[in-house]
């Protein structure tokens, strides 16, 4: 019925549509013409109504369907409640309520009283493929047409899942941009393979300066090899964080300009625990000491009732110091530093060091 080239064009169209929904209309139209249908589309549940990406449906037919007939559409109700992947013919489905208002006044009127229908996705809001045709002397659900739809179905299902994931990433990006763009520190969101998926304005300024850290082929890169290796290890730790008390790490990044080194914190993104490996994200925070005043210990004492010693520990934690370094600088034992750290968790309602760092980076101006 179709050549290999025609089949390949249909499959390619599905995957193009996953990236750019504008391609759905020409792709569905190609499928409609290939099987000889009069019109068709993808039906998706949107709240309490259906959203139809349609091809070749008369304007007045679509308007009346949206306004009224979709609520009488027993054909799609049957398909939506049926098994995923089962290609069904119009003769069987329309025959469930022959000469009903929907059949007589809409399907027959617009010559869509036969065709092929299949539920493509599962879940509470399923998507269905519709290929409608006028009733003829022979049923539309021929063996050749059903074989073609069955061969195309896995590609259509994968393209819809991909599109859903792309939309989730777009929503995640759109929600994240306003939040991180107000921060004075550079913030980068990093995915698997160390690819940067989002940066705020401060990070763009830092990366453009090429003063020890830059973006190369979409990957954050530090000019000093040893520091770059440590950054990669920190990102990997953050991406593989499995919910235990761990985080990426902190490091200093020397700057060829001679300015004070950047302080870099690497944190697992909130919500990454339990996520699929390719969906996990790490947050890289780059602090420029030349632009940031000393952290306000007095503010932390006033807002959260910290003691002077606890505020001193908090300031150093935020700057990326390790517990031994804090112990040496304050002249106290590591056990004492751990006790102050536990008090910080209690007073700031945090539970891990990584969570405390995130909290301090937001709270401190």
Q: How far apart (Å, rounded) are the C-alpha atoms in residues 265 and 285?
A: 5
Predicted confidence band at 107 (pLDDT cuts at 50, 70, 90)?
very high
Distance of CA 70 to the CA centre of its chain: 31
| Inter-residue contact 206 to 222 (CB < 8 Å) | no
| Inter-residue contact 234 to 201 (CB < 8 Å) | no
Distance of CA 185 to the CA centre of its chain: 24
| Inter-residue contact 126 to 119 (CB < 8 Å) | yes
pLDDT tens sequence across 188-202: 989 888 888 888 889
pLDDT at site 73 = 93
CA separation, residue 113 to residues 93, 103, 109, 220, 263 (Å): 10, 7, 9, 57, 68
pLDDT tens sequence across 248-257: 788 889 999 9
pLDDT at site 317 = 87
Q: What's the CATH code, domain 4-168?
A: 3.30.450.40
Can you identify the CATH homologous superfamily of domain 182-292?
PAS domain (3.30.450.20)
CA separation, residue 43 to residues 71, 239, 254, 345 (Å): 13, 37, 56, 50
Task: Count how many Cα atoms sit within 13 Å of the Cα of residue 205 in the half-sphere of its side chain.
Answer: 12
- Identify any residues that bridge with 128 across adjacent strands, giving them in sequence order: 43, 119
Kindly list the domain boundaries of the chain, sorted by start residue.
Answer: 4-168, 182-292, 293-365
* Whole-number percent of the chain with pLDDT over 90: 47
| Inter-residue contact 93 to 75 (CB < 8 Å) | yes
The SS3 call for residue 292 is: coil
| Inter-residue contact 153 to 171 (CB < 8 Å) | no
pLDDT above 70 (res 278): no
**Comparison of pLDDT for 44 and 1, the residue scoring more:** 44
Q: How far apart (Å, rounded) are the C-alpha atoms in residues 324 and 345?
A: 18
Looking at residues 177-184, what average pLDDT do you find? 66
Predicted confidence band at 340 (pLDDT cuts at 50, 70, 90)?
very high
pLDDT at site 240 = 83
3-class secondary structure per residue, 343-356: HHHHHHCCCCHHHH
pLDDT at site 32 = 94
**Mean pLDDT of the residues in the chain:** 86
CA separation, residue 225 to residues 98, 121, 189 (Å): 74, 48, 21
Distance of CA 202 to the CA centre of its chain: 23
In the structure encoding, which two tokens stand for residue 61, read together? 């037919």
* pTM score above 0.85: no
- Identify any residues that bridge with 196 across adjacent strands, giving them in sequence order: 190
Whether 182-292 and 293-365 share one fold: the answer is no
Q: How far apart (Å, rounded) are the C-alpha atoms in residues 280 and 186?
A: 20
Predicted confidence band at 90 (pLDDT cuts at 50, 70, 90)?
very high
Q: Which fold has domain 293-365?
A: Arc Repressor Mutant, subunit A (1.10.10)
Q: How far apart (Å, rounded) are the C-alpha atoms in residues 66 and 64?
A: 6
In the structure encoding, which two tokens stand for residue 49, read together? 């109504």
């Amino acid at each position: 019925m179709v050549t290999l080239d025609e089949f390949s064009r249909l499959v390619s169209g599905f995957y193009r549509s996953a990236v750019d929904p504008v391609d759905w209309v020409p792709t569905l139209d190609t499928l409609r013409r290939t099987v000889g249908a009069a019109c068709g589309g993808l039906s998706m549940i949107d709240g309490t109504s259906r959203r139809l990406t349609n091809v070749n449906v008369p304007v007045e037919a679509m308007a009346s369907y949206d306004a009224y007939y979709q609520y009488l559409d027993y054909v799609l109700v049957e398909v939506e409640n049926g098994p995923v992947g089962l290609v069904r013919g119009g003769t069987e489905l329309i025959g469930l309520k022959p000469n009903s208002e929907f059949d007589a006044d809409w399907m027959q009127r617009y010559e869509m009283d036969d065709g092929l229908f299949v539920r493509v996705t599962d879940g509470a809001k399923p998507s269905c493929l519709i290929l409608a045709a006028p009733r003829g002397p022979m049923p539309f659900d021929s063996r050749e047409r059903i074989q073609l739809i069955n061969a195309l179905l896995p590609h259509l299902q994968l393209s819809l899942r991909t599109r859903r994931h792309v939309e989730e990433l777009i929503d995640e990006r759109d929600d994240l941009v306003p939040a991180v763009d107000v921060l004075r520190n550079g913030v980068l969101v990093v995915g698997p393979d160390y690819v940067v998926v989002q940066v705020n304005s401060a990070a763009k300024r830092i990366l453009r300066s090429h003063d020890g850290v830059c973006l190369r082929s979409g990957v954050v890169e530090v000019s000093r090899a040893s520091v770059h290796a440590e950054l990669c290890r920190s990102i990997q730790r953050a991406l593989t964080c499995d919910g235990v008390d761990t985080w990426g790490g902190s490091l200093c990044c020397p700057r060829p300009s001679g300015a004070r080194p950047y302080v870099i914190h690497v944190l697992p993104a909130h919500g990454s625990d339990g996520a699929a490996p390719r969906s996990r994200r790490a947050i890289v925070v780059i602090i420029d000491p030349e632009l940031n005043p000393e952290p306000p210990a007095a503010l932390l004492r006033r807002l959260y009732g910290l003691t002077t010693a606890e505020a001193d520990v908090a300031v150093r934690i935020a700057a990326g110091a390790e517990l031994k370094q804090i112990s040496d600088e304050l002249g106290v034992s590591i056990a004492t530093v751990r006790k102050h750290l536990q008090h910080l968790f209690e007073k700031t309602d945090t539970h891990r060091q990584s969570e405390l760092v995130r909290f301090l980076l937001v709270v401190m101006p």
